[in-house]
Amino acid sequence: MTGNMSEKAALRRQLLAVRALLTSDDVQKAAAVLADAALNLPELRRARTVAAYVSMGSEPGTRALLDALHARGVRVLLPVLLEDNDLDWAAYEGTERLVRARRGLLEPAGPRLGVDAVLAAETVLLPGLAVDARGMRLGRGGGSYDRVLARVVRSGLDPALVVLLYANEVVARVPEEPHDHPVHAVVTPEVTLRFRA
């Protein structure tokens, strides 16, 4: 394990330990504030297609945001985890059309759109554990979103990359590796930070 990989692993453990202390009430309250803040982002107000994800456990909540985007008529794409940890995509059609999948994830029941479907999104909401002042994101370490971001970069497209976090997860520095890509904005219940003009 390289130095940056072990630093990432240590930071992940630390952040996940703090998340484990959150009550369901803490998570629900933060989710409502995050949804309001995210819905006011110009990147989401003008988007016709948004790639997002269904939050699980103590992750910053996305369900209210997904429903609000869907109600606005935004096409919301959600990931479907493939056997090789890459992500296929399917359209969000409401909470009642989500099904339990591998690793306890919730995924859309509808047709799969292919790994390149994410390229239609003007905004991509990324899960994460931390973002630093440069916009470098720390994910969970599975590599699924590294593949998504590499696909987006190769395409030459420039969707807004946004991460929803708790305030303590905006950190001084995230260890980075050559395959890591910075995000454009982070939204916490307290503040929205941008990393590009």
Q: Which residue positions form the known binding site for substrate?
A: 54, 59
| Binding residue numbers for ATP | 8-12, 137-145
Name the percent of the chain in helix, strand, coil, to the closest 5: 35, 25, 40
Q: Please state at what angle helix 63-71 crosses helix 24-39, rounded to 10 degrees.
A: 30
Q: Are 137 and 18 within 8 A, CB to CB?
A: no
| Binding residue numbers | 8-12, 54, 59, 137-145
Give the number of residues written for the chain. Answer: 197
C-alpha distances (whole Å) from 161 to each of 41, 120, 136 are 12, 13, 11
**What DSSP string runs through 41-97?**
SHHHHS-SEEE-----TTSPP-HHHHHHHHHTT-EEEEEEE-TTS-EEEEE---GGG
Dihedral in degrees, nearest 10, Cα atoms 149, 155, 159, 162: 0
